[in-house]
Structure 1
Amino acid sequence: MSVFKLPLGICDDIQKVISRFWWSSNAEKRGIHWARWESLSQAKQKGGLGFRDFASFNQALVAKQGWRILQFPDSMVSKILQARYFKNCHFLNAKLGFRPSFIWRSILWGREVINRGIRWRIGRGDQVEIYRGNWMSRPLTFKLVSLPSLPIDVTVSELIDDDNQWKVGLIYQHFVKEDADTITRIPLARQPTADQVLWHFDKKGNYNVKSRYQVALRITLEDSRGCSN
């Protein structure tokens, strides 16, 4: 479950076994399900019992592989995957590619969780695209609301001057006030540093199972509701 996307049928079978154990008084008789599994799999602070939705848990675990690619780009695995699938772009923008392996398909599936919970800490701003990057402190999109008025692939570095300060005039010229106010409040280091990826739902920016499972569960619920409409 930490490496591959398991078939939904397997995840459903596991949940059925747990559900029968929880609701049935004996192995012979099928009990009454007094609450939907969707409700039970919510966190306790949200009114659930903290049970695992196994498809969501699987996605949250697989997402760890993508996080390792972001954190350790010089590792052997990261370099092999980069050479095969995203040689000319960042991992967050990588496509499925031609004849992808099942591992790569699984990693991109897990990346959906990463994209919902990460944002960039701006250093030089040269790795973060203004309009497509996750860099605004605005869950769950972390993106601007302003319509593009600059080239679509321009990076945040274009908004920072030689003294590593925000170009306030340029920012208020090209972005709506809501975005401009948010951007100019983002602290910049005195000396330019590399941009850093953070997990937004942790105070220290660390990637933890509990919060990424909740993000994966939200994705699963959104997909199921979309299919039912």
Structure 2
Amino acid sequence: MNKFWWGSGGGNERGIHWLSWKRMCTPKCFGGLGFKDLRAFNLALLGKQGWRFLTNPASLVARVYKARYFPNSSFVDAVIGTNRSACLRGIFAAKDLICGGIRRRIGDGTSTQVWNSPWLPDSNPCIQTPQPSYLSNAIVSGLIDPNTNEWDEEVLMDIFEPRDVELIKRVPISPSYADSWYWLDDLRGIYSVKSGYKRIWGVVTPLTDDFISWNKVESVSHVFICCAFAVNVWRISHIDIPDGARLSFSAWFEQILNTLDAKEIIKVAAILYAVWSARNSAVWEAKVPTPASVVALAGRAVHNWQLSQPAASPTGNTHEQLPFPLSFSRCHVDVAYDSGLGKATAGVVLVRPNGEFVAAMSTPLPYCDSVIMAETVACKEALSWLKDRNEEAVVLLTECAVLCANLCSSLEIMSYIGIATKECRRLMSSIVSCLVLYIPRSDNFLAHALARDCFSSLQDVILFWDVVPPSSIMELLI
């Protein structure tokens, strides 16, 4: 492949290899060319077979291999012996990859062992408390109060260390569902060759020391938030951004989405692009622009983008264009979410077709490991509230396009999002006429303002408003 890439005419001509194969295979986000590393890609392909052994044990191939090579254990616990085939050796070569990226999704807890399974929402997903001898075969369902279907806190405090207690209490319980496996690196919880390849590059691939040190210095957060150049750019921009010193870039950007309005978010996106262009100019062309020129470039980009947008409708009523009957009441839903703590608050506002306020609700949500999980749980809470109010014709409006796609899709979702999505579908079927549709944040300002206000006030109780709207959205209704 080196000869093909660097050759200059075919035949026996030999071109200069300007980059090492290791650097060529380094992902683009780390400064490489993004060629596939053949060994890593083959390992990711083999991981697909291991994933099928794990999630589809009733298949003919899985039953044959289990009966032949590990009849008394599961794929996770199996140890390759001396009497093995070449196919089995290949599949087991990817066993560490699969086992490192899987987690147990707790339903009723009857098929998950407390000490021997990765089921906690943490980078170290196993129980760290020493195992008492009398609990050698303990299962998760033994930690659940059968009367309330919640974690039995007295049992947890008696057995586990504080770290494990806090992590266990974050795990949602769904007694109507069986325990299952899901893939940690995918939103739907399903292994793919692409996600397996990314995990190999992030965990397994042996990079050279100089590249590792360079990568640590130039992390995404460092480039866009923490380096001296980026700090000066944000200072000149006069945008009130959150402190990103102790946050990952994704967590920092989620706070941006939760705290800034739409116009400021567009400016932030333009500045991020301008900072990245400045970084590339410095790395590849040895030219370092000034922070002021970067801000000016971002400003021109925003201006050009605004000029390219179609003119707004003269009526300004976007709801007339949405695909639902005008006689339906509108229920706006949004969440405020802190990815660092997994904390979320939902805001729900119900209005009549003419825009008249009917009712509102805000509620703290249980621990959510992603903003998509928070949006899905918020939708479930809103639908439950609408059902209790006996609403018969309502459209639920959310700015989460992924949630709408999940509700319309027939594809299986194996992560915790899947359970919440199924509950949403069940609640929708219990309402006479109910739709869930996507709208942009600019049209979802009522729920967004309510969720953000209740989140910032640190209220851990469910609040309801009837007739008189909350003060945080009263001016927006006028």
TM-score bucket (shorter structure)? 0.7 to 0.9
Matches within 5 A, 1:62-73: 62-73=46-57
Letter matched to residue 21 of structure 1: F
C-alpha distance in structure 1 between counterparts of 2:2 and 2:30, whole Å: 20
CA shift, 1:44, in A, is 2.4
Q: Which residue of 1 aligns with 2:60?
A: 76
Partner SS for 1:184: helix
Higher relative contact order (CA 8 A, sep 6+): 1
Letter matched to residue 92 of structure 1: V
The answer to whether the Cα contact below 8 Å between 2:97 and 2:196 also exists between their aligned partners in 1 is yes
The answer to whether the Cα contact below 8 Å between 2:47 and 2:193 also exists between their aligned partners in 1 is no
Q: Which residue of 1 aligns with 2:127?
A: 144
Partner SS for 1:124: coil
C-alpha distance in structure 2 between counterparts of 1:97 and 1:107, whole Å: 13
C-alpha distance in structure 1 between counterparts of 2:64 and 2:194, whole Å: 29
C-alpha distance in structure 1 between counterparts of 2:32 and 2:161, whole Å: 39
Q: Which has the higher strand share?
A: 2
Matches within 5 A, 1:37-52: 37-52=21-36
The answer to whether the Cα contact below 8 Å between 1:53 and 1:217 also exists between their aligned partners in 2 is no
Deviations 1:33-78 (A, max 9, x none): 33x4334323323333221111111110001111111222111111
Q: Which residue of 1 aligns with 2:115?
A: 131
CA shift, 1:106, in A, is 1.3
The answer to whether the Cα contact below 8 Å between 1:39 and 1:48 also exists between their aligned partners in 2 is yes
Q: Which residue of 2 aligns with 1:19?
A: 2
Matched, 1:208 2:192: yes
The answer to whether the Cα contact below 8 Å between 2:103 and 2:184 also exists between their aligned partners in 1 is yes
Query: Which of 33, 38, 41 is the matching residue for 2:18?
Result: 33
TM-score under structure 2 normalisation? 0.39
Give ranges in structure 1 of 5+ residues lacking alignment.
1-17
Partner SS for 1:198: strand
Identity across matched positions, percent: 33
Two-structure CA RMSD over aligned residues (Å): 2.6
C-alpha distance in structure 1 between counterparts of 2:115 and 2:57, whole Å: 24
CA shift, 1:96, in A, is 0.8
For these two proteins, the number of residue pairs brought into alignment is: 205
CA shift, 1:88, in A, is 1.8
Rg comparison, structure with higher value = 2
CA pair 33-127 structure 1, distance change in 2 beyond 3 A: farther
C-alpha distance in structure 2 between counterparts of 1:38 and 1:45, whole Å: 14
Q: Which residue of 1 aligns with 2:151?
A: 166
TM-score under structure 1 normalisation? 0.77
Partner SS for 2:151: coil
CA pair 85-157 structure 1, distance change in 2 beyond 3 A: farther
Matched, 1:183 2:168: yes
C-alpha distance in structure 1 between counterparts of 2:178 and 2:55, whole Å: 13
CA shift, 1:100, in A, is 1.1
CA pair 218-30 structure 1, distance change in 2 beyond 3 A: same
